[in-house]
Structure 1
């Protein structure tokens, strides 16, 4: 599995935070911070929009680094991704991601 597939199955390669970090695009950081603030009902600043990927070494957004319950769960269980977890099908946390992005589940399992 590509390292740019997040623990939950999201595609880090096409994530605006990663793209903004790699291209040093402040306009994209601003746009992404605004969208994510509205989506998450949380204050997200453009300075927080820097990430190289969930499963690769390097910078991460504060949420991805320490606050994401999915990432913390998988790391705590020593799983590379949720696809390694026998409880994935019944997990409410990753289930919410898979409902909003069915391709995320396919990336982890090879099926939907």
Structure 2
């Protein structure tokens, strides 16, 4: 599995934070910060929008680095992704992502087929 697939199965390669970081695109940082602030009901500023991927070395957004409960759980359990977790089927934490993005779940479980 490529490292640009996040712990939850989302595709970091297409994430606006990663795209803005790679292209040093301040307009995309501003747009992403505004969107994420509204979605998460917390203040997110454009300078926080710097990330190279959830499972890669390098810079991460504050949320992805320290606050994401999914990533923190995967790191604590010593797993690569939620797809490796025996409790994934009933997990409410990753379930919220998988319920809204079936592709994320498929990415992690495709190797089980």
Equivalent position SS for 1:43: coil
Matches of 2:22 and 2:99, distance apart in 1: 29
The answer for unaligned runs of 5 or more in structure 1 is: none
What's the counterpart of residue 66 of structure 2? 66
With structure 1 as the length reference, what TM-score do the two structures score?
A: 0.98
Could you tell me how far 1:52 is from its partner in structure 2? 0.1
1:31 aligns with 2:31: yes
What's the counterpart of residue 3 of structure 1? 3
Give the number of equivalent residue pairs: 111
Equivalent position SS for 1:29: helix
Matches of 1:99 and 1:56, distance apart in 2: 25
Matches of 2:40 and 2:28, distance apart in 1: 18
Matches of 1:89 and 1:35, distance apart in 2: 30
The answer for unaligned runs of 5 or more in structure 2 is: none
Could you tell me how far 1:8 is from its partner in structure 2? 0.4
With structure 2 as the length reference, what TM-score do the two structures score?
A: 0.97
Matches of 1:61 and 1:101, distance apart in 2: 21
Could you tell me how far 1:100 is from its partner in structure 2? 1.1
Runs of 4+ in 1 over 2 A off after TM superposition: none
